[in-house]
């Protein structure tokens, strides 16, 4: 038991090193942002949750994290989940979620007593805030740099949608995707940038050149990458309804 306790302590000590904690936060933020871009993928979200569990678990074992600090983070996380799956976009839930997430991460690393922060040295507060901001900004920069390759990779193209693409769900089977280039399409799920579009009554996987396209909007197909249609929003595509019904 003592050996196990020593090992846990050593692991917790390692994960609470500022550069390691920053990497965990980077992983957490990257997972959440990628899930926001590709809602329903789940895997990035699970990876982010694992990073969060290691982060808070380590600081808790070191005696730094209070239960209410974890609660603040959890509420922020739930708000972000609601933003991703319930109210797509980036509104009040998303902004509030980010604020609570960052607050929970910063306070978890501070040596406060309960809700008393008077004994926290300025240097500790600066280190904690810098570590969290470095992780958050690092996650955003890394995703911006690698987003196209990640989203268009074979693994994430398969994982991007929860449901299998088969005929009983309305997906097109045996249709040449190249023949769809130039056609208007109706967005059925939010494109951030991946999702589903409908052409001639059939559903297809698509990714948008625009960062965000709401469901119900019209787009047109510009290209095909593997099994994914590339689409772009265009006001003129609003006439697509008449074309599709023809």
In angstroms, rounded to a whole number, what is the distance separating the alpha carbons of residues 23 and 16? 11
In angstroms, rounded to a whole number, what is the distance separating the alpha carbons of residues 107 and 73? 10
pTM here? 0.61
Q: State whether 144 and 23 are in the same domain.
A: yes
Instruction: Taking the CA atoms of 115, 134, 73 and 47 in sequence, report the sign of the dihedral they define.
Output: negative
Instruction: Taking the CA atoms of 193, 135, 99 and 61 in sequence, report the sign of the dihedral they define.
Output: positive
Q: State whether 150 and 68 are in the same domain.
A: yes
Average pLDDT over all residues of the chain:
77
When divided into structural domains, the chain yields a total of 2
- Give the domain CATH number at 181: 2.40.50.140
Q: Evaluate whether 1 touches 113 at the Cβ level (below 8 Å).
A: no
pLDDT at 153 over 60: no
Among 54, 99, 57, 44, smallest CA distance to 76 is for 99
Q: State whether 129 and 36 are in the same domain.
A: yes
In angstroms, rounded to a whole number, what is the distance separating the alpha carbons of residues 243 and 202? 15
Q: State whether 19 and 97 are in the same domain.
A: yes
Q: State whether 68 and 141 are in the same domain.
A: yes
| Domain extent for 104 | 2-159
Give the range among 144-153, 163-172, 200-209 with minimum mean pLDDT. Answer: 163-172
In angstroms, rounded to a whole number, what is the distance separating the alpha carbons of residues 16 and 161? 35
The confidence score (pLDDT) of residue 97 equals: 84
């Amino acid at each position: 038991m003592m050996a196990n306790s020593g090992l846990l302590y050593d692991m917790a000590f390692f994960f609470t090193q500022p550069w390691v904690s920053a990497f965990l936060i980077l992983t957490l933020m990257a997972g959440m942002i990628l899930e926001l871009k590709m809602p329903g993928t789940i895997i990035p979200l699970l990876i982010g949750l694992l990073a969060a569990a290691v982060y808070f678990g380590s600081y808790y074992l070191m005696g730094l994290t209070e239960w209410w600090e974890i609660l603040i983070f959890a509420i922020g996380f739930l708000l972000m989940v609601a933003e991703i799956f319930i109210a797509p976009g980036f509104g009040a839930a998303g902004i509030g979620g980010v604020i609570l997430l960052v607050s929970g991460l910063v306070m978890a690393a501070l040596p406060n007593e309960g809700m008393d922060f008077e004994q926290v040295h300025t240097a500790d507060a600066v280190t904690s805030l810098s570590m969290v901001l470095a992780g958050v900004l690092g996650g955003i920069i890394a995703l911006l740099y690698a987003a196209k390759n990640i989203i268009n990779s074979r693994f994430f193209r398969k994982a991007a949608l929860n449901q299998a693409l088969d005929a009983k769900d309305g997906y097109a089977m045996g249709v040449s995707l190249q023949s769809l280039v130039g056609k208007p399409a109706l967005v059925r799920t939010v494109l951030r940038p991946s999702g589903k579009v409908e052409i001639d009554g059939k559903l297809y996987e698509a990714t948008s050149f625009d960062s965000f396209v709401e469901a119900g909007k019209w787009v047109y197909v510009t290209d095909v990458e593997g099994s994914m249609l590339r689409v772009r929003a265009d006001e003129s595509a609003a006439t697509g309804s008449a074309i599709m019904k023809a």
